[in-house]
């Protein structure tokens, strides 16, 4: 069985690239990125999809009367392609309840902090301003809250005294490119089980 993956991205899509690379080199078995969707017309993620002959789709939120209408069309496009797993890779829109329920425990996101600390935007800046000694990144299933779904994998990154937002972000991103493919691999291999808030790795 081939697991069909859709990636939603709003920016450069470096995590998308990491997923593509790990599928192409065989690390993630029996999987295919079938569709890349963006809400930003000039998102570089769309160019990455084109380079790998992956179908891409730009959906302009301004062309829809409501978020519900936007996500209705998004769901239709995912269903049409038999999508088994949805990955958020720098997707800057909060998903609505109807979308989340449609793909319950089948939507993953990666966040640049050790959740539940520093949710939302500018997590690296929040971490530096708070003065933490360790930050990192988290892959989690998406639920109805903000960065609040069950945690799949986390990786710690030491915060250095001379760190800037840019330098800390760069080191965290390196870890993101490792643990996001790992989480996808575990999902595809059927090794993830959600029990309440706990994700068990079988």
- Domain residue extents for the chain: 1-103, 109-202
CATH annotation of 1-103: 3.40.50.170
For the sheet with 85-89, list strands across it: 55-58, 31-38, 3-9, 85-89, 107-111, 134-141, 151-158, 198-201, 192-195
The string of pLDDT tens digits covering residues 125-163 is 999 999 999 999 999 999 999 999 999 999 999 999 999
Compute the chain's Rg from CA coordinates.
16
Q: Do domains 1-103 and 109-202 have the same CATH topology?
A: yes
- Does the predicted model carry a pTM greater than 0.75? yes
Q: Smallest Cα–Cα separation from 33: which of 69, 68, 85?
A: 85
CATH superfamily for domain 109-202: Formyl transferase, N-terminal domain (3.40.50.170)
111 as an active site residue: the answer is: yes
The string of pLDDT tens digits covering residues 99-121 is 999 999 999 999 999 999 999 99
The pLDDT of residue 1 is: 85
- Judged against a pLDDT cut of 90, whether residue 168 lies above it is answered with yes
Catalytic residue among 52, 111, 140, 177: 111
Distance separating alpha carbons of residues 138 and 199, to the nearest angstrom: 13
């Amino acid at each position: 069985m081939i697991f069909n993956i859709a990636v939603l991205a709003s920016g450069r899509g470096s995590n998308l690239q990491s997923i593509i690379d790990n599928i192409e080199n065989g690390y993630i078995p029996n999987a295919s990125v079938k569709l890349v969707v963006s809400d930003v017309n000039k998102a570089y993620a769309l160019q990455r999809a084109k380079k790998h002959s992956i179908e891409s789709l730009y959906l302009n939120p301004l062309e829809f009367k409501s978020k519900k209408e936007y996500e209705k069309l998004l769901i239709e496009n995912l269903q049409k392609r038999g999508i088994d797993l949805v990955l958020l890779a720098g997707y800057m829109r909060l998903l609505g309840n109807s979308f989340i329920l449609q793909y319950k425990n089948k939507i993953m996101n990666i966040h640049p902090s050790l959740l539940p600390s520093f949710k939302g935007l500018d997590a690296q800046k929040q971490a530096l301003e708070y003065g933490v000694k360790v930050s990192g990144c988290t892959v989690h299933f998406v639920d109805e809250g903000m960065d609040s779904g069950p945690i799949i994998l986390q990786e710690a990154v030491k915060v250095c005294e001379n760190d800037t937002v840019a330098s800390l972000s760069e080191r965290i991103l390196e870890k993101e490119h490792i643990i996001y493919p790992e989480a996808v691999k575990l999902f595809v291999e059927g090794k993830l089980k959600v029990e309440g808030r706990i994700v068990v790795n079988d």
